[in-house]
Structure 1
Amino acid sequence: MSSPSSPSSLSSRLSALLPDLAPWRASRDFRLLWSQGLVTYFASAMAMIALPLQIKELTNSPLAVGAMGAVELVPLVVFGLYGGALADAVDRRKVIVGTEAGLGVLALLLLLNSLLPEPMLWPLYVVAAGVSALAGLQRPALDSLLARIVPHEHQTAAAALNSLRWQIGSIAGPSVAGLVVALAGHAPAYAVTIAGFAASVLMCRRLSPAPPAHDAEKPSLRGIAEGARYAWSRPVLLGTYTIDLAAMFFAFPNTIFPFLADELDADWSLGLMYAAGSVGSLVLGLTSGWTSKVRRHGLLVVGGAAGWGLAIAAAGWFGNIWLVLLCLAFAGAGDMLSGLGRATIWNQTIPEELRGRLAGIEVLSYSVGPQLGQVRAGVMAGWTGTRAAVWSGGVACVASVGLLCLALPKLLTYDSETDEDSLRRKAQQEAVARQEELRGEPQGSAGTV
């Protein structure tokens, strides 16, 4: 028998930290979505850096950069809710392919505008609104498809692998984009974005069909309202939405990073600022094996969100660029931890017939917050200065998480092995798997209903 400090024991402990690859091995469609997402995230990150930098160069105004959040908000709300209803009513693969193609067209418009002798400002806002609308349509289909093709017990592992994929793309994208824009201008960054979406469309076309249930209703306001009533009646779900909204509204300062870099006399660090949070998330993702054994996912949501707020507050307080980058990395780890908890609760508890509509609400919870947060950060930076806008938002984030825990205590006590909704969803998924087995269909495909 080996001692606790023996090499075999140490190796076993290290192996337990590595990401759980069960979803990757079990589902061809999961592998396709993971690979497609890596390409898309890299391409999107290039545009994510180039677009606000171009607005900054044209206006030199933090308010003008922060206004991107206001422009994107309404399309995201409207199309996010409609996209949720659409995901429950049509083939989800078709929604994903169509929206990826549309995003590629919008990237082409950015490229054409950047090639003008004097690039115009208003098309940048129009494209930002269009990207927000298409993202709102797409994300419910993507998220609800994941809940369908990955077994109940592998949802946390799938969320960790997806987050790991996103971090790889978002680290490489901003880092490379900062260099590309600095050395060659905005046009090459937009060109890479176009190429990425073109490749993504080709990969998405290889996904298995994902038709709706036979008795699915057409998208309607009544159907959207039905999903909203279900979410409102579930304190655990309500807690995941509100905590994420509060954390992002108060502590999402990314839009004023260009001004923070100027204030710290570290213009060279802008790409690193955008990438630092992803580095922290990547480290957590690479050591996420332990999360597959967690049952109290509400604690992940709360602890991660509070950690995010504390780290953002520290990033605004310190004046040393390296300490700021370290704090942003810790913030990214906290955000990922909270995201793993949220994704697991959503996919383990929401019934299949409502999954798309609830995914639309989820889009609002994790997307509207950052959009409003961009506006808040830009306005506060104009009033109080950049660093004060950052650290005060972090403090407000921690306070709001604490208040929401007091208001919604069931989130803290959530247990995937005893929660009624979790057990009901698990039984539903197992019943579908048995039907597939009787029909001789491959399990884990996107075609299950």
Structure 2
Amino acid sequence: MPGKAPARRTSGLLADISPLREHPDFRRLWFGNTVSYIGQQMTAMAVSLQVYAITGSSFYVGLVGLCSLVPLIVFGLYGGAVADAVDRRRLGLVTAAGLTVLSVALAAVAVVHLRSVGVLYAIVALQAVCFAMNSPARSSMIPRLLPPGQLPAANALASLAGGVGQMAGPMLGAVLVGLWGYQAAYIIDAVAFTASLYAMWRLPAMLPGEGDGAVRRRPSVIEGLRYLAARPNLRTTFISDLAAMVLAQPRVLFPAVAGLWFGGDTSTVGLLAAAPAVGALLGSVFSGWLGRVKRQGMAVLFAVGSWGAAIAVFGLTRNLWLALVFLALAGCADTISMVFRNTMLQSAAPDDMRGRLQGVFLVVVVGGPRLGDFLSGSVADAFTPTVAVVGGGLACIAAIALIALFQRSFISYDSRRPVA
């Protein structure tokens, strides 16, 4: 186990990079994940462009997301159980290698000019399976690589990498497709995965459970869900996130409100969609103070409540730039919530449950916003977009107030004495 000595933290607001500076294994893993995630986002953009070029239909492009969503939800839970039963390093290597092979397959499809959306859908679905198996294993490794005091900084750095990938990946993918064709994005994605493979290769064996005498167990999703049901603090991390993502998720309404509220066009939709990502990125960059917060449960509730408040105010304003500011504030609040929720999962859960809990985390992160899209769209059609957005923000605040009222242990959660 690394880091018997207390972790050093930055005293300022900028992101604490001590996990990168002090722990080579984590540094390699973070860099590999960052590079490979940018490649994945490039591929996602290239696939969407290729499907549209073949079909000329936005509906078929939308089906790409569905082909990813179902495997992510199904195999996210199973992948977490597998991560708690096998060598996580080996699972990470195998699934990263699978993603590399699938990127090569996409490149081959592009090179031979095979105009089949069915083949593209199948490859995208297999990519989602590999990612769903890889993500819980990778996330559950982090507490084995770092001391507890550096987990908030590590999760903030992961959020920073994700923000960079989401902003740079699609742009690079579109540029590469325009210059050299779809195969260019796919080949570079395959090459990018070598960084993740190298990082995994350099890690020691990651058998679940504490110590070298860890015993392999038969994977059990049900056992993980039963464990979560009996742990109020960990359970509340998921409930609080669902309160934000299901009740107050306005993104599906951006095309409608861009014209109705702001008199804009598709470029306005792009600004609205980008604003939360910019806020999330800024929240990660200025995350140095997060490691000093001990009452992490209270911080989660405050961050999720802030998300709801920012969304509600966004629904009331008709000034575009003010709306963008509040969407950015919402994105920043979401990053803070994610950092502390993930830190609580990594700190309070035993090692042999971390994979399954990370699998649930993946399912909630992927599925919650989709449910939120459905709810927001339904309310907007039944009433108005204003009712959907403002009402959703207020409902989120009300849900957080109820959590604070009935889950007192969550408010008093202290990172120095983590209790699941």
Q: TM-score range by the shorter chain?
A: 0.7 to 0.9
Which residue of 2 is the match for residue 236 of structure 1? 233
Q: Which residue of 2 aligns with 1:7?
A: none
- Specify which of 242, 245, 269 is matched with residue 242 of structure 2: 245
**2:93 counterpart residue number:** 97
Q: How big is the shift at 1:42?
A: 1.4
Q: Give deviations 1:99-143, integer Å, cap 9, x for gaps.
A: 222223333454555668684444454344333322221111111
Unaligned runs of 5+ in 2: 1-9
Residue 188 and residue 269 in structure 1: after superposition, are their counterparts in 2 closer, same or farther (change >3 A)?
A: farther
Query: d(CA) in 2 for partners of 1:262 and 1:69?
Result: 25
2:218 maps to 1:219 = yes
Residue 150 (str. 1) matches residue 149 (str. 2): no
The aligned amino acid for 1:139 is: S
Equivalent residue pairs, number: 405
Instruction: Provide closer, same or farther for how the CA distance between residues 179 and 88 of structure 1 changes in structure 2, counting only shifts above 3 A.
Output: same
CA distance in 2, matches of 1:101, 1:274: 32
Q: State the AA in 2 paired with 1:238.
A: R
1:72: how far off? 3.6
CA distance in 1, matches of 2:374, 2:50: 18
Query: In structure 2, what is the Cα distance between the partners aligned to 1:66 and 1:56?
Result: 10
Which range moves more in the overlay, 376-385 or 103-112? 376-385
SS of the aligned residue for 1:218 comes to coil
Which residue does the alignment assign to 1:334? Answer: 333
- 8 Å contact from structure 1 (residues 245, 368) kept in 2: no
Task: Indicate if the aligned counterparts of 1:276 and 1:332 stay in contact, CA closer than 8 A.
Answer: yes
1:336-358: CA deviation from partner (whole Å, max 9, x where unpaired): 11011101211221112222222
In structure 2, which of residues 78, 81, 88 is the aligned counterpart of residue 85 of structure 1? 81
Report the Cα distance in structure 2 between the residues aligned to 1:118 and 1:26, rounded to whole angstroms. Answer: 48
The alpha carbon displacement at 1:74 in A equals 3.6
Partner residue of 1:41?
Answer: 37
Give the letter aligned to residue 103 of structure 1: L
1:122-133 equivalence runs, <5 A: 122-133=118-129
Contact 1:178 1:271 in 2 (8 A): no
* Worse overlay, 391-400 or 279-288: 391-400
Structure 1 residues 160-195: Cα deviation after superposition (integer angstroms, max 9, x where no partner):
222222222223224444555677775554444333
Alpha-carbon contact 2:29-2:196 (below 8 Å) kept = no
The alignment status of 1:296 with 2:295, answered yes or no, reads yes
Alpha-carbon RMSD across the aligned residues, in angstroms, is 3.6
Alpha-carbon distance between aligned partners in 1 of 2:284 and 2:311, rounded to the nearest angstrom: 20
Return closer, same or farther for 1:176/1:220 CA change in 2, 3 Å cut-off: closer
Q: Secondary structure at the match of 1:140?
A: helix
Match of 1:27 in 2: 23
Q: Does the CA contact (< 8 Å) of 2:207 and 2:214 recur in 1?
A: no
Query: Cα distance 1:308–1:83, how it changes in 2: closer, same or farther (>3 A)?
Result: same
**Aligned AA for 1:242?**
I
Structure 2: which amino acid aligns with 1:203? A
Q: 1:78 to 1:389 in 2, by over 3 A?
A: same
Paired with 1:45 and 1:147, the residues of 2 have a C-alpha distance of 26
* TM-score of the pair, normalised by structure 2: 0.81
Q: Does 1:201 align with 2:191?
A: no
1:29-428 equivalences under 5 Å are 29-51=25-47, 58=55, 70-111=66-107, 119-177=115-173, 188-213=184-209, 214-221=213-220, 224-252=221-249, 254=251, 265-268=264-267, 273-315=272-314, 318=317, 321-374=320-373, 376=375, 393-420=392-419
Distance 1:162 1:339 in 2: 10
Contact 2:150 2:291 (C-alpha < 8 Å) held by counterparts: yes
Aligned to 1:432: none
Normalising by structure 1, we get a TM-score of: 0.76
Per the TM alignment, residue 334 of structure 1 is displaced from its structure 2 partner at its CA by 0.8
Residue 414 of structure 1 and its aligned partner are, at CA, apart by 1.2
Deviation at 1:330, TM superposition (A): 1.6
After TM superposition, the structure 1 stretch with the greater mean CA deviation from structure 2, 94-103 or 112-121, is 112-121
The equivalent of 1:10 in structure 2 is none
Structure 1: distance between partners of 2:342 and 2:287? 14
Q: Tell me, which stretches of 5 or more residues in structure 1 are unaligned?
A: 1-13, 422-449
